[in-house]
Structure 1
Amino acid sequence: MKNEQPKAGLPNLKPSIIWMINFGFLGVQMAFTLQSSQMSRIFQTIGANPNDLGWFFILPPLAGLIVQPLVGYFSDRTWAPKLGGRRLPYLLLGTIVAVIVMCLLPNSGSLGLGYASMAAMCFAAITVAFLDLSSNVAMQPFKMMIGDMVNDKQKSYAYGIQSFLSNTGAVLAAVFPFVLTFFGVANTAHKGDVPMSVKLSFYIGAAILIVTSLFTVFRVHEYDPQTYAKYHGISEEDNEEKVGMFTLLKKAPKAFWTVTLVQFFCWFAFQYLWTYSNGAIAANVWHTTNTASAGFQAAGNWYGVLAAVQSIAAVIWSYVLAKLPNKMHKLGYAGSLALGAIGFGSVFFVHSKMVLIVSFTLVGIAWAAMNTYPLTIVTNALSGKHMGTYLGLFNGSICLPQIVASLASFVIFPLLGGKQTNMFLLAGIVMLLGAVSVFAIKETSAEAPEEPHTPIEE
């Protein structure tokens, strides 16, 4: 067993560096939001049966479950200064693939494969899988670099910036179809084809992903292995040692598991929001289930607006949560999730598109808490050893609930009458369970006290 090294402590970083560490997250989140907000619309437009949507929504979390631990494991052992360092080479790889796939996915109905054909469904499913694989590869470095480079004192601020940029990207991506339609871009197409408003949204999102990712790659300088080891109080060989992922899970701090329990309920609920929102809004507000109708496509645009409302609410609420003292973190976390549960359940009862703004504002409050507290609590409880691998494994607390929710939907959806609105009542109950489970969390910190006058890193 290796001896612990004297720990210098991570230095304070200039705010500009923290912003640059996170800046590319804006583009990555745009890719995720376009996928989550338009995926149901795309699949139903090309002929997917609502009963079968769960199959397609299994693919993204399955991809994340496999890829993110691997990115963490291998990036812990990577040092390629010409490509950016430790985490940034994976950001470059993920961005390149994501951009290609973002140009392919919205054209799933334009290749002459046939409406509701197996070929069209398979093409769309494969492109979604690759989009999520690449987006996960591009996303994970941002989470890891905060763990690598930001001390406990600044970590809440850093994740707050990440949440702000994430939600800003989500707002932009969500409103693209609505705004493009407003400026005259076609929002309907012939049966089986995805409207041009959606296609252009993906193309614009791909361009922004390239620009924001390159900003992070060129402006961030990761710590070399010697400096990383000194700041984290480990030896340079610690991240090289071959430790199995199951062994690491056995050694994970208790906070890792209690936060995972909360995450299960939260991400289970959100999987149903992404799967059934378009259909539920079309049924309740526009009174249609015809995917080729103007009403269904209008519902898709309005869901984009509501997703933007959710993200704006999350940005505002993140600032509220940041003002709470540490002793009130759990109350803020649980209260936010409880408000989100009300928002989910209310979608079942609402038949006005304007009132849905209130519902999705409450959902956004829960989203803010989900993007503020979990990573802060977990990274504070971890030492610098195997940071990337642990964060990749923690991503399972996001992916597994979505997989379980999708598989469960094949039983639950028919039991609830085959109505997409009914799934929101269930999601509200599950989110409420998440709020209650917050009180099982006990926050801990693995970071040693900093030396006096910790330098500010240039």
Structure 2
Amino acid sequence: MKKQKLGFWEIWNMSFGFLGIQFGFALQGGFMSRIFQTLGASKDEIPLLWIAAPLTGLIVQPIVGYLSDKTWHPKLGRRRPYFLIGAILSSLALFFVPYSPALWVAAGFLWVLDASINVSMEPFRALVADKLPNSQRSYGFVVQTLIIGIGTWIASNLPWMVSQFGVSDSADSGVITDTVKVAFAIGAFVFLLSVLYTIFTTSEYPPEDMEEFEREKAQKSNFIKDITNNIGSMPTTMKKLGVIQFFSWFAFFTMWSLANPALTEHVFHTPAPIETAFDMADSAQKLAFDTANTAFQKSSNLVGSAMGIYGLSSMAFALLLTFYTSKRRINRKFVHMGSLILGGIGFLMMNIATPETLKYCFILIGFAWGSILSMPYAMLSSSVDPKKMGVIMGIFNMFIVIPQIIAALGGINFISGLLGEEAINAMTVAGISLVIAGLCNLLITNKNAITYQIEEN
């Protein structure tokens, strides 16, 4: 099928739902560890509590990709039914997670939240490849990254923003602050609204041969066998991109799960107080705990705001690439390599950062994030069968979730422990991992993946 080139606003509309998805991911990534710590988790327990996120992605994304390839609804099309289901479930989970009364409840909500986000997210990746010709793939994924950057920055700043309007940062022991509750409620509303916007403003191409599509759909299929066959026939470029993805997502999972304990302790010098270290029956001891806890909550707001800066710099990075890729080709390989190495330097700089200079670390990390969200998918989509785009994108997600599972099961604690007991060592591990990911781009040799020749109008 000859796909029509789309204008900026058409690409913007089809990607706008990612604003809500990123609100969900940014609130989850920036504040779930804070919620876990408030409910009593130690910093060594946090990575394992996060295992819900990658495990649900490992299971959900290939299934959703496989099913969406075989779906056609006369009104909602192929991908949009999954946008809608995921948005409704994610919004409900976002609203309720800050009201968790115990650690196990919060961990359970993370399972529900991440599974629901994944139901929406994978079809959005596939939609770009469905709708755009090869010459606009980089452009499309970069516009998507621009929207993700906006969502990351706003959502990461929400607790700080609402605190400026007088919402309290103080709370009793084991209770989530009102700033976090209000921020997650706003996120739930934005998630649903932005996905609905894409559903109502974007159409999809129907199958070229509807009768053949229905015949194939009616045939018995073996999901496990089909997934296994697709994994076995994985293109070489996809495998090489998988190596890059492994080290990239190991680094970012480390940041999401451990940046709050690492930076509140090392940069702001306000670690989460341990309740058992205080005699809560003694009024002076209780006051000391409350003071330390409020300081931790306020510095956690500032860590969240600093993390939001990586969304802002990824947005600026994406904006520059949007203007450039709308008219010219880029060397995706070297853009991705340079961006990842800069992000790695940002993580390493956290060892010497102050509250005033922490933002510069996240500016560099934003270049890596902007590239991670666009370049691998642009390279991949130019190297696979378009009829299998959904399932391939789902399988590609394995290279994202497997390193996170390894990190959660003790990989972060073990490797950072080799450097010492300080929580900041986890950020050093993230930096080294991201530099390795950047250098692995030298493995990519497929010219069609590296840069695609712009088609003539």
TM-score, with length taken from structure 1: 0.88
**Alignment-derived partner of residue 295 in structure 1:** 295
The DSSP-based 3-state class of the residue aligned with 1:191 is coil
Work out whether 1:328 is the aligned partner of 2:331.
yes
Query: Which amino acid is 2:46 matched to?
Result: L
Correspondence 1:97-176 to 2 at 5 A: 97-109=89-101, 120-176=102-158
**Alignment-derived partner of residue 371 in structure 1:** 373
State how far apart, in whole Å, the 1-side matches of 2:444 and 2:358 are. 32
Correspondence 1:35-114 to 2 at 5 A: 35-82=28-75, 84-109=76-101
Work out whether 1:432 is the aligned partner of 2:435.
yes
For residues 117-151 of structure 1, what are the alpha-carbon distances to aligned partners after superposition, in whole Å with 9 as ceiling and x for unaligned?
Answer: xxx12111110010000001011121111111111
Deviates more, 1:271-280 or 1:14-23: 14-23
State how far apart, in whole Å, the 2-side matches of 1:343 and 1:238 are. 49
The DSSP-based 3-state class of the residue aligned with 2:125 is helix
State how far apart, in whole Å, the 2-side matches of 1:299 and 1:37 are. 13
Structure 2, gaps ≥5 residues long? 274-291
Query: Which amino acid is 1:418 matched to?
Result: E
Query: Which amino acid is 2:315 matched to?
Result: V
Deviates more, 1:355-364 or 1:400-409: 400-409
The DSSP-based 3-state class of the residue aligned with 1:377 is helix
Query: Which amino acid is 1:319 matched to?
Result: L
1:415 offset after TM fit, Å?
A: 3.8
Residue of structure 2 aligned with 1:29, choices 13, 17, 22: 22
Correspondence 1:297-446 to 2 at 5 A: 297-322=297-322, 323=324, 326=329, 328-350=331-353, 352-407=354-409, 408-445=411-448
1:81 offset after TM fit, Å?
A: 2.0
Mapped contact 1:239–1:386 kept (Cα < 8 A): no
State how far apart, in whole Å, the 2-side matches of 1:76 and 1:51 are. 40
1:177 offset after TM fit, Å?
A: 0.6
Do the aligned partners of residues 54 and 162 (structure 1) sit closer, same or farther apart at CA in structure 2, a change above 3 Å counting? same
1:160 offset after TM fit, Å?
A: 1.3
1:320 offset after TM fit, Å?
A: 3.8
State how far apart, in whole Å, the 2-side matches of 1:330 and 1:203 are. 39
Residue of structure 2 aligned with 1:219, choices 191, 201, 204: 201
The DSSP-based 3-state class of the residue aligned with 2:312 is helix
Do the aligned partners of residues 205 and 227 (structure 1) sit closer, same or farther apart at CA in structure 2, a change above 3 Å counting? farther
1:211 offset after TM fit, Å?
A: 1.0
Do the aligned partners of residues 417 and 450 (structure 1) sit closer, same or farther apart at CA in structure 2, a change above 3 Å counting? closer
**Alignment-derived partner of residue 274 in structure 1:** 256
State how far apart, in whole Å, the 2-side matches of 1:72 and 1:367 are. 23
**Alignment-derived partner of residue 264 in structure 1:** 246
State how far apart, in whole Å, the 2-side matches of 1:451 and 1:431 are. 34
1:290 offset after TM fit, Å?
A: 2.8
Query: Which amino acid is 1:102 matched to?
Result: L
State how far apart, in whole Å, the 1-side matches of 2:454 and 2:321 are. 25
Using the aligned pairs only, state the percent identity. Answer: 34
Query: Which amino acid is 1:200 matched to?
Result: V
1:250 offset after TM fit, Å?
A: 2.0
Matched residue count: 430
**Alignment-derived partner of residue 183 in structure 2:** 201
TM-score, with length taken from structure 2: 0.89
State how far apart, in whole Å, the 1-side matches of 2:260 and 2:42 are. 13
Mapped contact 1:94–1:134 kept (Cα < 8 A): yes
Structure 1, gaps ≥5 residues long? 1-7, 110-119, 454-458
Do the aligned partners of residues 13 and 362 (structure 1) sit closer, same or farther apart at CA in structure 2, a change above 3 Å counting? same
Query: Which amino acid is 1:304 matched to?
Result: G
Work out whether 1:187 is the aligned partner of 2:169.
yes
Query: Which amino acid is 1:38 matched to?
Result: F
State how far apart, in whole Å, the 1-side matches of 2:59 and 2:38 are. 29
State how far apart, in whole Å, the 2-side matches of 1:235 and 1:140 are. 21
**Alignment-derived partner of residue 277 in structure 2:** none
RMSD over equivalenced CA pairs, Å: 2.4
State how far apart, in whole Å, the 1-side matches of 2:370 and 2:429 are. 21
Query: Which amino acid is 1:170 matched to?
Result: T
Do the aligned partners of residues 157 and 237 (structure 1) sit closer, same or farther apart at CA in structure 2, a change above 3 Å counting? farther
